[in-house]
Structure 1
Amino acid sequence: MPTLRIATYNINGITARLDNLLAWLKETQPDIACLQELKCPDERFPAAALKKAGYNAVWHGQQSWNGVAILARGATPVEIRRGLPGDSRDTHSRYLEAKVGDLTIACLYLPNGNPAPGPKFDYKLMWFARLIVHAKTLVKSKQPVILCGDFNVMPTDLDVYKPENWEGDALFRPEVREAYRLLLKQGWTDAIRKKHPKERIYTFWKYWRNSFARDAGLRIDHLLLTPDLAKKLKAAGVDKATRGQPHSSDHAPAWIELGVTAKKRAAKKAKKPAGTPRKPK
């Protein structure tokens, strides 16, 4: 059966690392790629360069911070939601949903939350609570959904190098791990952990203290699948070598392969929820 490759990649600045991104896309050719930390406003998103590389895109940018995008090769993503519902005052560009063929792709960049405790950690927990509410509606829709991105959470001790050193960090505090557990309890499958149940597999390495060479990493980038898609999961992994390239992001792309094919057409009947702003032209 043909497979569909979906990846998530915190690019940590798409303008500064466009060459890295294009090289990775050319080498691995994911059918769908979700990006986080664009760190650029909408008007500076490199749509033309990506289109030349074979990828159509929708994006939700922000000057200097945050930003998410969904790319599709040989297909057209159709935006259906911009921003996580539940707080109209939240102006951070952290969530984007689109249809790619018959799949719903939800790309997120969950807040870091440090220092904890404090206002940033409170915001993280509130954002996570909103995500849990919305994710439940996605599961109940009975549609095939992939919820992926940089969750800024290490779910278990297996997901962090020397967990004893991270006990007070906002990415590893009990409240955050419990929120992730509640999310999975809705019926989501953590694809990488499903395929690597006992392996220390990381997606992020700090730039300092020679972390990458020592493999002192964290697994904070996740791909979650609704039950119907979990049955079609064929493989999952991390493109670790990408992290070792010059001028790379501090994240590596994480990916899955599903035994399905996305239809090479736009989902023309997809509708935006009421009140959802359109992407600026």
Structure 2
Amino acid sequence: MKLATWNVNSLKVRLPQVLEWLSIAEPDFVGLQELKLDQDKFPLDAIQAAGYQAVWLGQKTYNGVAILSKIPAQDVVLNIPGDDDPQKRLIAATFDTPLGPFRFVNVYCPNGQSLDSEKYPYKLAWFDRLTKWLSDELKTYSNLAIVGDYNIAPADEDVHDPKRWKDQVLVSEPEREAFRRLLGLGLTDSFRQFDQPEKSFSWWDYRLNAYKRNAGLRIDHVLLSKPLADRCHGCVVDRAPRENEQPSDHAPVVATITV
């Protein structure tokens, strides 16, 4: 069972690349972020023609999340329950799998912009609400994965130049502590379950030839509850789509679970 996350940075622009990648990678469940399109503009026909079903939460110009799956979704949740935040950042669904009920949560976490921006405390507060909600979800679903663009590089090994990035947004200690609190719920960063090449990243700025220089950050993650982590036998960054013409600035991350 292959679980994937990919910030596509506009599904309208990147749809042909997404369809091509689905045909090659054949993931079972995919979380897409930054759809950047209205709810009624989602390309459902094209996704279904590729062999996938979809649930989504759209928002014009910004944000937006979707779950693509080969089997029907149930118990869909849009945004953190009880949260009146107008930004469309979370979608969750349950699936019947050979492992039993499987809860798949897809998030596009706030960026924060800078440590002196009003968007930074918003980001930390959003993570607090996410952590509280996930704590309850984990009591209901033993098989839970939360994937997405977290906009946090958890450790210096996830940063191409830690000295340059020190005390900046995406790597600040309060953000990393928020990520650790998620792990403290009993979740595992599936990528770090395995030996990985040094300088493994999932995002590279479009500017300054960052991708060619491999000047990136690892900010896209697949976190797994213990039963899934125990069955996980691999997690990789698929850099091939980042080498397309007009690519997203993110690459997909794919974890494989034994069923």
Q: Which moved more, 1:194-203 or 1:176-185?
A: 194-203
Residue 91 (structure 1) aligned to one of 86, 93, 98 = 86
Q: Would you say 1:217 and 2:225 are equivalent positions? A: no
Aligned residues of 1:189 and 1:230 also touching (Cα < 8 A): yes
Aligned residues of 1:85 and 1:130 also touching (Cα < 8 A): no
Aligned position for 1:18: 15
1:16 is paired with a residue of what secondary structure? helix
2:4 is paired with a residue of what secondary structure? strand
Q: Which moved more, 1:161-170 or 1:51-60?
A: 161-170
Aligned position for 1:72: 69
In structure 1, the gaps of 5 or more residues are: 261-281
RMSD, aligned CA:
1.2
In structure 2, the gaps of 5 or more residues are: none
- State the TM-score, normalizing by the size of structure 1: 0.88
**Percent identity among equivalent residues?**
38
Matches within 5 A, 1:49-198: 49-73=46-70, 75-88=71-84, 90-101=85-96, 102-196=101-195
Distance 2:62 2:188 in 1: 29
Deviation at 1:108, TM superposition (A): 0.2
- Deviation string 1:195-217 (CA, Å, 9 cap, x unpaired) is 23674311001111111111111
Q: Which moved more, 1:116-125 or 1:31-40?
A: 116-125
- State the TM-score, normalizing by the size of structure 2: 0.95
Distance 2:218 2:38 in 1: 28
Deviation at 1:161, TM superposition (A): 0.5
Distance 1:7 1:87 in 2: 26
Aligned residues of 1:149 and 1:223 also touching (Cα < 8 A): yes
- Deviation string 1:48-92 (CA, Å, 9 cap, x unpaired) is 00000001000000000000000012x11224211013532x111
Deviation at 1:133, TM superposition (A): 0.5
- Higher relative contact order (CA closer than 8 Å, sequence separation 6+): 1
Residue 36 (structure 1) aligned to one of 33, 38, 41 = 33
Distance 1:236 1:131 in 2: 24
Aligned position for 1:46: 43
- Go from structure 1 to structure 2 and tell me whether the alpha carbon gap of 1:86 and 1:118 turns closer, same or farther (over 3 Å shift): farther
Q: Which moved more, 1:24-33 or 1:199-208?
A: 199-208
Aligned residues of 2:102 and 2:141 also touching (Cα < 8 A): no
Aligned residues of 1:17 and 1:249 also touching (Cα < 8 A): yes
What amino acid is the match of 1:216?
A
Q: Which moved more, 1:28-37 or 1:197-206?
A: 197-206
Deviation at 1:254, TM superposition (A): 0.1
2:174 is paired with a residue of what secondary structure? helix
Q: Which structure dedicates a bigger proportion of its chain to strand?
A: 2
Aligned residues of 2:159 and 2:201 also touching (Cα < 8 A): yes
Deviation at 1:127, TM superposition (A): 0.3
Residue 2 (structure 2) aligned to one of 5, 11, 20 = 5
Aligned residues of 1:158 and 1:198 also touching (Cα < 8 A): no
Deviation at 1:241, TM superposition (A): 1.5
Distance 2:76 2:56 in 1: 12
Aligned length: 255
1:213 is paired with a residue of what secondary structure? coil
What amino acid is the match of 1:152?
N
